[in-house]
Structure 1
Amino acid sequence: MTLRAVVRGVGHYLPERIVPNAEFEDRIDTSDEWIRTRSGIERRHFAAEGETTSDLATHAARAALADAGMDATDIDAIVLATSTPDFTFPAVATIVQGNLGMTSGFGFDVQAVCAGFVFALANANAMIQTGQARRVLVIGSETFSRIMEWSDRSTCVLFGDGAGALVLEAQEGQGTNRDRGILSLDLHSDGRHRDILYVDGGVSSNQSTGVLRMQGKEVFRHAIEKLAQTAHTALDRAGLTPEDVTWIVPHQANLRIIKGTAQRMGVGMDRVVVTVQDHGNTSAASIPLALSVGKARGQIKEGDLIVTEAIGGGLAWGSVVLRW
């Protein structure tokens, strides 16, 4: 028998304010057509004044717990992926822990930018497999609207705010790739490319929050190659092929990247969950958001084989293969 980290519940939350592409036309030299053509994005959500990353995460966590039929007291640990924390410290995970009324267990944050949720899943999976925790709440939550350079039309139109969450539970499997739960992972980073996607502020460097800086063409070039490669590696480790995949649930950064990655994997777009048009790039929140929306749409069902993959600043990238 093999211990697996099985998805028991999923949920998401989006701020009330919806920002269509047309809203940017009065601010900067852009248009709805320009944004759609280059990114596939039509609208995104922005957090309200005073609405924090932990607020979004708490809403998503409650939705996931309700979907799992659990209370916060059933959870042993919270692993939360974000690049836009409420404070320098404490961790957003501990704020969510307090909001949920969870007085035992532990919580911590993971920072791998857009790949953060993949890295958070890897941490949660390791804790479950080693017996450190039985049930783990894994959250991705971001308020990227707070770190935009609003005069940079190449970046400010791409990002949005939101949160998504999964409840993982330890369950025994047969040790084959027919088991439910996380079957394999693949993680990477390469700090030589840190300057192509970063925020130009920080506590140690200049004591400021900073704004996002991105070399879009360079990020695009790395993304398609590295995402397809990591997905293939994770599938190989599980003894599976792209033909076995029910759904690719990718990081929702750019529709052209999503299509390019699917093409390199030999998977049709009819097997890809796409939400980027409605949410924009929500960084670490995009994969759990897409998983939750995919389930709500009736696309993702128990027994489906899912591949998630993401790349973000660092550069950091990776993938997870799991059976729903």
Structure 2
Amino acid sequence: MPEQFRKGVLVPRLDDVAAAAGVARSTASRVMSGEATLTIREETRQRVLDAAAKLGYRPDTRARALRLKRTYALGIVVPEIDNPAFGTIIRSAQKAAIERRYSLFISLADKDQPDTALYRRLVEGKGVDGVLVTTISDPGLVDELRRRSIKHLLVNRELEGHQGSIIVDYVEATAQVVEHLVMLGHRRLAFISGPLHQYAGQKRLEGFTKGLRRCGLVPDEQLIGECNYGWAEAAEVFKRIYVASAAPPSAVCAANTTIASGMIAGARSIGLEVPDELSVISLLDSPLALMHVPAISAVQFPFEELGRLAANELIDAIENGSEMENVRLERFRIAERGSVSSLR
């Protein structure tokens, strides 16, 4: 390293990085900007990055942003910060954004009444270059983003006729959970959902009825309940369903592990043992599932991959003008634990 840089007398420039790496200044610039379309040997790219690290070079992001009329920032608005799925999506999206030299602004919206103004404030005055949309109760939100020519990608949400979304397959996963329980000998299945007017509730219910019909079973509306993802509320909903049913369920699909845990408490309060007398499976895994006694069987989705792909897809669209596609991540698995038993 040159003596003047070690002593901090001079601030290293891009020209110094290029000279140290033995490449043209334009190549060094494109490497340091993380340009997705740059085609060079990996060894050359790494040589530039190593030279920048040794010199202590830091790109002037403000000058770059002014020159290209970008903020190098993305926005994401989520309905829940403490939801494990959204937490994983945020972390992986932020990591991907940082790798592309972008920032990620995170805002919390009311999950029942998404604040359209919140999205508007994100994009007004060119606050961000693009938005990851996780709440779409109001389709007018997407229309407004289009009018403002703001790049946006629907994340774990989809709208009919909209191009540009990335989702996991709640429908097929739930259908296969039902088939799994039927294979174990269960014929009377209940489903306790989160709010059914919301996207996730609708998709899981669609999958639940699809799975029953695949197995030649008729959905029973008396065995379908909903709550607002509350533990105590889930317990009460389950007890009402079970006590009111002339033919009680032997297994229950719960929207998430909080609902599953509440239901298990409700089952115990009326004398039912899990899993001996009632099998319980969560349609969304979380750390709570492993801490529970018994450990709760649950569905695992690739939310880390979802967040990473979403951020990269949006940045590619911003930088290259590429068209965003609708992507469905079909990979999932049922983690079998102690809350499900066989009737065979």
Fold in common (TM above 0.5): no
Q: Which has the higher helix share?
A: 2
What TM-score, normalized to structure 1?
0.29
Higher relative contact order (CA 8 A, sep 6+): 1
**Larger strand proportion, structure 1 or 2?**
1
